[in-house]
Every structure is written in C-alpha cells, then in structure tokens.
Amino acid sequence: MDNTPILSASNLGHAYGSIVALHGVDFDLPPGRIGLVGANGAGKTTLIKILLGILRPTTGSVTALGFDATKDMLDVRSRIGYMPESDCLPLDVTASEFIVYAAGLAGLPRNAARQRSSDVLTLVGLEEERFRPLGGFSTGMKQRTKLAQAIVHDPELVFLDEPTAGLDPEGREEMLELISRLGGFGINVLVSSHVLGDIERTCDRVLMLDGGRVLRSGPLSHLVDADVVSVDVLGDVSAVVEHLTAAGATVETTGTRLLVSSSDDDPFRLVRDALVSTGNGMRSLGPKATTLEDVFLEGSGT
Amino acid sequence: MTERGVVFDLGYTPHEGERRGRRGAIATMYRDGLYRVFGIHRRARKKILPWLLVVFAVLPAVAFVGFAFLLSTFAPDAESPFGSHADYFGLTGAIVLLFVALAAPELLIPDRREGVLAIYSSRPLTPDNYVGARAASLLTVIAGFTLIPQALMYVGFAALSSDGFFKALGANASEIPRILAATLVFGLAYAPLALLVSTIANRKAAATGIYLGIMLIGSALAAALVEATNLPGRRYAALLSLAEHPEYVTSWIFGGTGSGDLVVASTGLDPWVSLVAMLVIAVGSSLLVAWRYRRIM
C-alpha cells in the first residue's frame, strides 16, 4: 500500500485578525480513515477550510493529495469531496436532481452524473426517496444526502465535518456504518468530530487539535492501546505492589485495583509472577481500557 | 434442469470516465441558472410567472405578424401600421425589467440562504466563476426575451413581403447587428444592478422590490429634479432615470433620437452620455458583486 501522505502541513498557521486559530501545525497523514478531533474552537473547521482553499494560511504550507492547497486549489477540489456540518441543501429540488447537479459541479458529464447519482443514492439508502423534494427530508435523510453529494464524483479523499450532528441513535449508527464502508471503496476519509466515540468507531488514525495546535497524531491503536495492565487483587494488595515495584514496574493503586506498566518487561508477566510469589489471587486481569477521550483529556491537561 | 440464478453484489463502482474539471462545473452552474429562472425541475408554482412573462414578451410579435398577414391578404396596398424592431424593444423593455427583477434574486439568494455556497466551495470553481456563470444565465434569459420576438418579426415580415422571403431577409440584414447591440444594451442596463441588489438583500421579495424601486422611482426622481429645481447642471439628474437608458440608447442604435417622453431625452443629453452612465453602473455593480462573493466563498 502506498503510504505517501495524502495530507501534509508544515508550520501551518492561520489567524482571524488577532485571534490565532492554528499555530505551527505539522503533520503527515497517510491514506486511510483519519479522525480530526478537538473541542469546539480547536481549529478543525479552519484546517478543513484551508485544505479546501477557502482560507489562506497565515504561515506555513499545506498539501492535499500532493497538491498545494493554496496555489493548486482547483486541482485539490477536483479530487476531493466535502460534507459540511451546516445546512447546505436546496430545499425545492429532489434528491436526485441535486445529486446530479452536485456531480456535474465536480466535472462529471451529464450521463455519468445521472448514473452516479442513482448509484450513490442507493448506497446511502435513499433510493426510495430520491424523487422527493429535499425540503421534506428528515435530519437523517438530509445528512445522507449531504454524504451522497460528497462522494457522488468518486473523490480520492472526502472531508466529513461532524457527520453525525443532529442524528438520533439509529441514524448515527447508519451514518457511522456508511463512513466505515468508504475506505473499502478506495475513498480516503478525514472525519472531523468532537464525538470521540465516533472517531474510535470509524477511523484508523487520529489528528488531535487543541487550541490551534497538534495535541497528538498517529494510528488510533498506538494512542488508545497503552501498554498498561489492570488487575483486581484478591488478598494482600500491598504485598503485590511491593513485589511489582521491586521488579521495576510502575504501579498505580486504587483500592484493590492496580494499573501496572513497565518499560522493560511485559506487565502481564510481572503481574503473574507477583501474584504467584505472594500467594494472592485476582478477580480480573486485562489491558487497561483506554479511550480516545482519556487520551484527549490527558493530553489537554483537563 | 432448472438453472440457478446468481446474484451479483455490484457494490460501489468507481468513476473511471471523463472529468471535465472547471469547464464542466461552470457549464453545470450556467445550466442550473437557466433551470432556476424558468422553474424547470421545480414545483409548478415556480413555473407560472416566468412562463407567463415569456408569453407576454412573445405574444405581441405573434400578433403583429398575424395582423400583417391579414393586412397583406385583404389590403395588400395598405401601409403596415405595425411597429419596427426599435419600437418592439420599447414594448418588451418593461417585461424584461420585471423578469430580471424576479430572476436575479432566484439566481443568488437561495444559494446563500440555504448554505449551498459551502458545496460550491468544494468544487473546482472560483467565486468569479460562480458569479460569471450566474450572470451568463441571466444575460442569456434577457437575450432570449428580446431576440426571440425580434426573430419572429424578422422572419415573419420577410415571409409576408411581396419582394419574396429571401430578398426581404437580405434587405433587412442591416437590422441584425442593431438588434444584437440593443439586446446587449438591455442586458448591461438591467442585469448587473439586479445581481448587485440580490447580493445585498437576503430575501427574494425584498430584492425584487428594491430593484424595481431603484429602477422606477429613479425615473420619477430624475423628472422631479430636472423640472422642479434650478440647480446648475440639473439636466444631469436625468441620468438617475436608470430604466430609460436602454430605451434611449436603443433608439440611437436604430437611428432615432428617442421619445420626448423620456426624461433623459427631454434634457438634450446625448445618447452616448446615457450609454456611458449605463456602462459605469454595470461595471461598478459587477465589481461589487465579485468583491462580495470573493469574501464569502
């Protein structure tokens, strides 16, 4: 698989007057499904607008699919799709007409636009409603229409800005399922969301922003699968802790529950040895369940 | 033996055909503009007014040709009382003005109010391309409104000519560049200002009202300033009569001097002054529209 970065930034910055939205942002993101996470005001939307060529960076440079997002804006836009967070659908046309229009705006010839419109509306589950005016659509149907217009021209990369905003639990599940399938179609995805659970469900890599700076960036598995073991001890907890510490492990104690990590050894093996040596038992043992939220809160110092 | 059916899951099919880039995007935007102003692919009520205005614009030309036919049949020696190409521009001018007042807001305001600009910002289009495509749609509609009845009259009168169809066409060929020039004049006089008003107003009805107000109240204001004041250079106040400029300049193009009913003509200002005023407003309006969309797209 070609791991040439699809998105890169070097010392990227942007300011709205005196308000700095992005500051010294650097990243190289390989193909795949990338989560762009951060609190409101972290700079997510500003970054997407710079990638689309709507905003110009104040400092640094940024490339998308190998093109300079500022100088080669039209080349970038020919290859990407964008699902905005805000309302963006004309209310007096049918879903079918609008998606054909969206495909034409991306440069597809009329016949191809009609064919793709039909295919994509079926893909997002709107084949039955395609001849209904968009003004009568529910929030979930509108979100699916927005996704359809973002992928109707078969882009190499699609930006999804808060794709589950306003959806009920069922609609959210359907949307996350659709996003998860995009990778299989050869479409790279950048999902911007402050719902970290959505990112964990759909992405394999994360770019975390906080206050306009990169907080963390990397594969999701590296961020959330911390090499920490959680064990609930039955018996003399202090004896187990003493043994683990003597073996070079770092131990965090909460009642009978211990969080054990070690830079030199396998923490599972250290826990097993400590329990056997001290003659204690355990109620449960497993890797610490670290969520993206834990990583974010830890990184942002909240 | 019964053959077993096979179900193929075609799944997602990538597009490997042609991509027309910016050229295709602009063409799509232009076509959408035409659909919008005529209510095509929209609900029935959006079609009524534009098509009614089309009928009003074309019907007199059909009637002129019809009466000319009757006249040529029953009184071949009688002189035709029907209007010239120049006169017809005066007749359709008000209909074109009303259509532009309705069409320009339809072209620009829903895109902003419904947030569709966000999607255009992800397509291979610049703000100038967007404004240009919308303006081209509006100018095409204006050209259609003025040229179709003119073409009907040109061909119809030639068909009824006692000199023969082709000879009559050739004899009147000098009218064609004048008709095209007059069409351009109406486009420049009406479209840019209507687009500017639609760029500022947030509701279609408000934009239509403001635009018609500027065009029509301007004439009354100009007449009042010219006639009721003794200010030096007051005749230049006639330039505020924006709706009259195209009619005055068109009359000039066809070799006339303009009706005395026109405020701008009654002050003795030359038609080229009207033309310059019109061009200044057209260029200024176009630049303001482009500037505004470069900021919001």
Whether residues B12 and A184 touch (CB distance < 8 A) is answered with yes
Number of H helices, E strands in chain A: 11, 14
Whether residues B115 and A86 touch (CB distance < 8 A) is answered with yes
Q: Given a cut of 90, is residue B205 above it in pLDDT?
A: yes
B30 at interface of A, judged by CB pairs closer than 8 A: no
B42 at interface of A, judged by CB pairs closer than 8 A: yes
CB A199 within 8 A of CB A180: no
Gap from A98 CA to chain B (nearest CA, Å): 10
One-letter-per-residue 3-state SS of B217-283: HHHHHHHHHHHHCCCCCHHHHHHHCHHHHHHHHHHHHCCCCCCCCCHHHHCCCCHHHHHHHHHHHHH
pLDDT for residue A6: 95
User: Which among A92, A116, A149 has the least Cβ separation from residue B119?
Assistant: A149
Q: Given a cut of 90, is residue B284 above it in pLDDT?
A: yes
pLDDT for residue B164: 85
Helices B271-296, B245-253: axis angle to 10 degrees equals 130
For B225-254, what is each residue's pLDDT tens digit?
888 777 777 888 889 999 999 999 999 999
Q: What is the mean pLDDT of residues A84-110?
A: 95
For B131-157, what is each residue's pLDDT tens digit?
999 999 999 999 999 999 999 999 998
Q: Given a cut of 70, is residue A226 above it in pLDDT?
A: no
Q: What's the pLDDT band for B87 if we cut at 50, 70, 90?
A: confident
Whether residues B18 and A112 touch (CB distance < 8 A) is answered with yes
Mean pLDDT, chain A, rounded, equals 91
Beta bridge partners of A82: A159
pLDDT for residue B114: 95
Q: What is the mean pLDDT of residues A71-76?
A: 94
Residue whose pair of structure tokens reads 């929209």 in the numeric block:
B42
Q: What is the mean pLDDT of residues A90-119?
A: 95
Gap from A87 CA to chain B (nearest CA, Å): 6
Q: What's the pLDDT band for B3 if we cut at 50, 70, 90?
A: low
Amino acid at A226: A
DSSP H helical segments within chain B, as ranges? 21-38, 45-74, 85-113, 117-120, 127-160, 165-171, 175-200, 204-228, 245-253, 263-266, 271-296
pLDDT for residue A121: 95
Gap from B18 CA to chain A (nearest CA, Å): 7
pLDDT for residue B260: 65
Q: Given a cut of 90, is residue A221 above it in pLDDT?
A: no
pLDDT for residue B10: 54
Gap from B70 CA to chain A (nearest CA, Å): 46
Beta bridge partners of A83: A160
pLDDT for residue B258: 65
CB A22 within 8 A of CB A14: yes
Whether residues A52 and B122 touch (CB distance < 8 A) is answered with yes
Interface of B with A in 156-185 (CB under 8 A): none
Q: Which of A105-109, A295-299, B251-255 has the lowest mean pLDDT?
A: A295-299
Q: Which of A65, A49, A50 is nearest to A8 (CA)?
A: A65
B13 at interface of A, judged by CB pairs closer than 8 A: yes
Q: Which distant-in-sequence residues (6+ apart) come within 8 Å of A66 by Cβ? A: A4
For A59-68, what is each residue's pLDDT tens digit?
999 999 999 9
Mean pLDDT, chain B, rounded, equals 89
Longest dimension (CA), chain B: 105
Q: Which of A127, A166, A114 is nearest to A143 (CA)?
A: A166
For A280-294, what is each residue's pLDDT tens digit?
999 988 877 666 677
| Residues of A in Cβ contact (< 8 Å) with B24 | 104, 106-109
Range of A207-216, B116-125, B214-223 with top mean pLDDT: B116-125
| Residues of B in Cβ contact (< 8 Å) with A101 | 28, 32
**CA-atom Rg of chain B in angstroms:** 24
Q: Which of A43-57, A219-233, B160-174, B194-208 has the lowest mean pLDDT?
A: A219-233
Residue whose pair of structure tokens reads 């259509």 in the numeric block:
B99
Question: Per the structure block, which two tokens stand in for A60?
Answer: 């640094």
Q: What angle do CA A17, A19, A20 make, to 5 degrees?
A: 110
Q: Given a cut of 70, is residue A137 above it in pLDDT?
A: yes
pLDDT for residue B44: 86
CA atoms of A247 and A240, how far apart (whole Å):
11
pLDDT for residue B236: 86
Q: What's the pLDDT band for B6 if we cut at 50, 70, 90?
A: low
| Residues of A in Cβ contact (< 8 Å) with B121 | 52, 54, 82
Q: Given a cut of 90, is residue B168 above it in pLDDT?
A: no
Q: What is the mean pLDDT of residues B169-197?
A: 94
CB A262 within 8 A of CB A273: no
User: Which among B21, B116, B123 has the least Cβ separation from residue A90?
Assistant: B116
* Beta-sheet pairing, A157-161 with A33-37: unpaired
Q: What is the mean pLDDT of residues B249-260?
A: 82
For A55, B4, B7, the CA distances from B1, given in Å and listed in that order, are 67, 9, 19
Whether residues A90 and B41 touch (CB distance < 8 A) is answered with no
